[in-house]
Amino acid sequence: MSYFRDNIEQASGYVPGFQPQHTEVVKLNTNENPFAPSPRALQILSEMSAEQLRRYPDPLGDSFRRIAASVHGLSVDHIMCCNGGDDLLVICFRSFCAEDRAVAYPVPTYSLYPAQARLQNCPIIKVPFDSEFNLPPKLTTTQAALTIVCNPNAPSATLIAPEEMASLADELQGILLIDEAYVDFAECDCVELVKRFDNVIILRSLSKGYSLAGIRFGYAMAQPELIAGLMKVKDSYNVDAPALAVATTALQDQDYFATQVKKVKALRQELTLSMRALDFTVGDSQTNFLLAQPQGCPARTLYQELIQRNIYVRYFDDPGLDDKLRISVGTAEQNEKLILAIKAILSSRG
């Protein structure tokens, strides 16, 4: 007999991408931004006072909410601060899902969704994407309490148009959570839907676009009634004072943010062309990573050979993905090392 609830005992838990502890590696496996965060944000971090650490943080993070509201053209009560975007996922599962309240999402997608669903012990309705990662029409018929669409999607790096997402929101009875963790690198977003629909929640993260995976900060955007409900479920002090100060300053520094995103997009384009020149099948990415299918060498072998050369990319041993690699866009130097290593591996195989 286990001390744990049955569903916890049976769950295997979320498996994050490997975080090598030595720094002499080319790390392109967890979609971190290769560039430094805003210097102004770093400055604020170094100026944290004893008093700021002695006291509890602002429970709602109003300084951040004000900036986010002005950046997105919403009001403060449309915003909730979270301890990383993942915190919002946990809050949504706890808020909307239960044994008789299902979650639905298109697959393949972010593997944290099933991991959280198992902890909440809710039914999971997986609706397969077609080969071009279009929005599956069946998603409207699931009767799920919570429907999650990762947009742009991971690991496909594809984007669904906001108007299609609007039709989905309109047809669903339950909540539509749009996971926009990668939207900073996409050509458009779904923020407008927050004003039009009372069942839409948008997830944002500072881990990718703002180069702040280390501080754990994300936020929700939704209509005030939904935000008020989600606030009942969150931890009372879910964002700590250093994270709040750093995130607020980083979001304020929109000029720096825009410059960094532009750099990543340019590097993404270069890397895409280099991979295609090596006969990889690579779609146009709307994120800071590529999903790339090698020719003439199994993806798993290539993944393992790259590790031998201290280069880490992501391999998923799942149907539809096990012939591909997910590669984060790195600096020009990192991308070049990757390309050279792939060339060497492919040519050594003849």
Q: Which residue has the tokens 């927050």?
A: 194
Q: Is there binding between residue 165 and ligand PLP (CB under 6 A)?
A: no
The verdict on 115 binding ligand PLP (CB under 6 A) reads: no
Query: Are 178 and 200 within 8 A, CB to CB?
Result: yes
- In the complex with ligand PLP, the residue whose CB is nearer, 38 or 205, is 205
Smallest distance, ligand PLP to C-beta of residue 326, A: 10
- State the burial class of residue 326 (Cβ atoms within 10 Å of its Cβ: 0-12, 13-18, 19+): buried
Cα–Cα distance measured from residue 46 to residue 43, given in angstroms and rounded to the nearest whole number? 5
Residue 79 and residue 87: Cα distance in Å, rounded?
14
- The answer to whether residue 218 forms part of the interface with ligand PLP (CB under 6 A) is yes
Decide if residue 289 touches ligand PLP (CB under 6 A): no
Asked if 102 and 143 touch (Cβ cutoff 8 Å), the reply is yes
Tokens of 22: 């030595």
**Binding of residue 114 to ligand PLP (CB under 6 A):** no
The closest alpha carbon to 74, from 201, 247, 236, 230, belongs to 201
Identity of the residue, 151 or 342, whose beta carbon is nearer to ligand PLP in the bound complex: 151
The site map against ligand PLP for 63-92 (x = CB under 6 A) is ---------------------xxx------
Q: What is the 3-state secondary structure (H, E, C) of 297-324?
A: CCHHHHHHHHHHCCEECECCCCCCCCCC
3-state secondary structure of 139: helix
Site for ligand PLP in 176-195 (CB under 6 A): 179, 181
**Residue 327 is a binding residue for ligand PLP (CB under 6 A):** no
How many Cα neighbours within 13 Å face the side chain of 136? 20
In the block, tokens 């749009």 appear at 178
Q: Which is nearer to ligand PLP, 116 or 142 (CB)?
A: 116
In this complex, which beta carbon is closest to ligand PLP, that of residue 205 or of residue 272?
205
| 146 forms part of the interface with ligand PLP (CB under 6 A) | no
Nearer to ligand PLP, 151 or 334 (CB): 151
Q: Does 127 bind ligand PLP (CB under 6 A)?
A: no
Task: State the minimum distance, in angstroms, from the CB of residue 96 to ligand PLP.
Answer: 17
Q: Is 328 helix (H, G, I), strand (E, B) or coil?
A: strand
Q: How many residues bind ligand PLP (CB under 6 A)?
A: 13
177 versus 245: smaller Cβ distance to ligand PLP: 177
DSSP conformation class of 137: G
Interface with ligand PLP (CB under 6 A), residue from 116, 142, 151, 205: 205
Nearer to ligand PLP, 85 or 294 (CB): 85
Nearer to ligand PLP, 154 or 227 (CB): 154
Structure tokens given for 165: 């997402």
The whole-angstrom separation of Cα 287 and Cα 21 is 25
CB of 206 to ligand PLP, least distance (A): 7
Q: Would you count residue 294 as binding ligand PLP (CB under 6 A)? A: no
User: Is residue 150 within the footprint of ligand PLP (CB under 6 A)?
Assistant: yes
**Look-up of token digits 């990762």:** 150
Q: How many CB atoms lie within 10 A of CB 290?
A: 24
155 makes contact with ligand PLP (CB under 6 A): no
Residues near ligand PLP (CB under 6 A): 84-86, 110, 150, 154, 179, 181, 205, 207-208, 213, 218
